[in-house]
């Protein structure tokens, strides 16, 4: 029975993010296939489970100094378990630890998640926009050091995974030799297709923070006040800069509703009620939110983010390059139910074929075998 150890900062029950969700879906499917699956992540909660869905959970401190990131604890877990495969899906010191302490025989995997992964200085501009000068001066050297070590570790991985062909090109420019492995959604056969009857609901879902540009969704709601539709935002507020605009939108826009953080086990119900999905993020690795929408036959309308041209070239929604164009394309979908149904049906067919968990894990197993 092969043994795999997932090394990442958080388990998805501790912090719900796209990378955490993808790790856990792969872990559960490998466990179902008979793998001996282990998972190490930060967690200080005394009631945290030690076993879940047949997977052994190992914990390290959430209070380790930033420059250490539980180095000795991770090294001991790797040494004690002696895994056949190590899988890492973050871009921080845990990437460095995973590759540094991997046994010689182990197949090491680094899965790129965010667009900046593989680079060192790409998000310093965001720090300048969202932090005080004092915070910026502290965080910049810290960020550079962490990413230098993460990059050095990732370059040692025997297998590098990318979520899209666009990401493959970016990683190749950064000195990596990645393989394509699409994201997966475990509920692919259970997601109910949207009929597109009734009053259109426009959904925005994700962490409410500056990088995601939630204020542009508020602008859309204001611009489309003449249309009979509802704008719904879901996600945890993670950025003080977004708090005031969010409160103002909730107070002033009758067709806008903020539902806050939605637990993973309930998020599907939110998508079930949506007719359109809007993305305003500056950049994405490959958004799980897009896949969630496509599986239900919901077109995606996105500003600046169009992974592999799936919106513009493949016809799974619409890509825009300005807020005016975003409004124009959103209006077209809101006002044309036939367009929503046609594009939505094509998107669902594509998603069921391309993001199937079983097929993707078959490919992952084949890639691992080729590195042994």
The string of pLDDT tens digits covering residues 138-182 is 788 898 999 999 999 999 999 999 999 999 999 999 999 999 999
195 in any annotated domain: no
Tokens of 46: 């005394």
Lowest-confidence range among 100-114, 180-194, 221-235?
Answer: 180-194
Is the pLDDT at 189 greater than 60? The verdict is no
Domain check: are 98 and 223 in the same one?
no
Is the pLDDT at 187 greater than 70? The verdict is no
Domain check: are 366 and 262 in the same one?
no
317 in any annotated domain: yes
The string of pLDDT tens digits covering residues 54-63 is 999 999 999 9
Percent over 90 (pLDDT), the chain: 78
Domain check: are 257 and 331 in the same one?
yes
Domain check: are 158 and 215 in the same one?
no
Contact 288, 309 (CB under 8 A): no
Which runs of consecutive H residues, i.e. helices, occur in 61-213? Answer: 71-81, 93-100, 124-130, 133-154, 165-173
In this structure, how many other beta carbons lie within 10 angstroms of the beta carbon of residue 316?
Answer: 27
The string of pLDDT tens digits covering residues 339-365 is 999 999 999 999 998 899 999 999 999
Domain check: are 325 and 362 in the same one?
no
Which pLDDT value is given to residue 35?
98
75 in any annotated domain: yes
194 in any annotated domain: no
46 in any annotated domain: yes
Is the pLDDT at 369 greater than 60? The verdict is yes
Range of the domain at 24: 3-184+356-371
Percent over 70 (pLDDT), the chain: 96
What is the chain's Cα-based Rg? 21
172 in any annotated domain: yes
Domain check: are 227 and 156 in the same one?
no
Predicted confidence band of residue 263 (pLDDT cuts 50, 70, 90): confident
Predicted confidence band of residue 260 (pLDDT cuts 50, 70, 90): very high
Tokens of 139: 């965080």
Is the pLDDT at 228 greater than 90? The verdict is yes
Mean pLDDT for the stretch of residues 14-36: 91
Is the pLDDT at 16 greater than 80? The verdict is no
Q: State how far the Cα of 343 lies from the Cα of 332, in Å rounded to an integer.
A: 12
347 in any annotated domain: yes
Q: State how far the Cα of 197 lies from the Cα of 71, in Å rounded to an integer.
A: 54
Predicted confidence band of residue 288 (pLDDT cuts 50, 70, 90): confident
Which pLDDT value is given to residue 337?
97
Is the pLDDT at 127 greater than 70? The verdict is no
Residues with Cβ within 8 Å of 317's Cβ and at least 6 positions away in sequence, in order, are: 277, 299, 300, 301, 302, 310, 311, 343, 347
Q: State how far the Cα of 250 lies from the Cα of 281, in Å rounded to an integer.
A: 20
Alpha-carbon torsion angle 88, 92, 98, 100, nearest 10: 150
More confident residue, 33 or 285: 33
Return the axis-axis angle of helices 288-295 and 18-32, rounded to nearest 10°. 70
Domain check: are 236 and 291 in the same one?
yes
Is the pLDDT at 130 greater than 70? The verdict is no
44 in any annotated domain: yes
Is the pLDDT at 91 greater than 90? The verdict is yes
Strand (E) or helix (H) holding 176 = none
Domain check: are 320 and 229 in the same one?
yes
Domain check: are 304 and 226 in the same one?
yes
Is the pLDDT at 124 greater than 90? The verdict is no
Domain check: are 177 and 212 in the same one?
no
Mean pLDDT for the stretch of residues 203-211: 90
Domain check: are 271 and 245 in the same one?
yes
Which pLDDT value is given to residue 100?
98
Domain check: are 217 and 227 in the same one?
yes
CA-based end-to-end distance of the chain: 15
In this structure, how many other beta carbons lie within 10 angstroms of the beta carbon of residue 262?
Answer: 17
For the domain that residue 279 is a member of, what is the CATH number?
3.40.50.2000
Q: Domain total for the chain?
A: 2
Is the pLDDT at 137 greater than 70? The verdict is yes
Predicted confidence band of residue 230 (pLDDT cuts 50, 70, 90): very high
């Amino acid at each position: 029975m092969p043994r795999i150890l997932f090394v990442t900062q958080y388990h998805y029950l501790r912090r719900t993010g796209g990378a955490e969700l993808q790790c856990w879906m792969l872990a559960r499917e490998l466990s179902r296939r008979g793998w001996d699956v282990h998972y190490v992540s930060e967690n200080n909660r005394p009631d945290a489970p030690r076993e879940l869905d047949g997977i052994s959970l190992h914990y390290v401190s959430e209070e380790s100094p930033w420059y250490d990131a539980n180095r000795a604890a991770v090294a001991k877990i790797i040494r004690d378990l002696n895994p056949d495969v190590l899988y890492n899906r973050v871009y921080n010191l845990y990437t460095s630890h995973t590759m540094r302490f991997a046994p010689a025989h182990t197949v090491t995997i680094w899965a790129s998640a965010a667009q900046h992964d593989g680079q060192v200085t790409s998000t310093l501009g965001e720090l300048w926009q969202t932090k005080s000068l004092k915070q910026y001066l502290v965080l910049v050297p810290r960020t550079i050091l962490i990413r230098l070590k993460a990059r050095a570790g990732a370059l040692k991985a025997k297998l590098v995974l990318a979520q899209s062909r666009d990401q493959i090109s970016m990683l190749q420019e950064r000195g990596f030799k990645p393989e394509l492995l699409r994201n997966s959604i475990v509920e692919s056969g259970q997601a109910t297709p949207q009929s597109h009857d009734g009053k259109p609901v426009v959904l925005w879902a994700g962490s409410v923070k500056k990088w995601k540009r939630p204020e542009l969704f508020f602008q859309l709601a204001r611009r489309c006040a003449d249309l009979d539709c509802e704008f719904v935002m879901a996600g945890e507020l993670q950025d003080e800069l977004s708090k005031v605009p969010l409160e103002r939108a909730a107070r002033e826009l009758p067709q806008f509703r903020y539902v806050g953080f939605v637990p993973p086990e309930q998020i599907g119900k939110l998508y079930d009620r949506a007719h359109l999905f809007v993305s305003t993020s500056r950049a994405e690795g490959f958004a799980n939110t897009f896949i969630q929408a496509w599986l239900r036959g919901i077109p995606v309308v996105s500003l600046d983010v169009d992974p592999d041209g799936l919106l513009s070239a493949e016809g799974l929604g619409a890509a825009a390059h300005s807020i005016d164009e975003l409004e124009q394309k959103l209006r077209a979908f809101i006002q044309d139910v036939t367009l929503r149904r046609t594009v939505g049906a094509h998107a669902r067919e594509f998603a069921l074929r391309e993001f199937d968990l079983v097929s993707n894990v078959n490919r992952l197993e084949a890639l691992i075998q080729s590195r042994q």
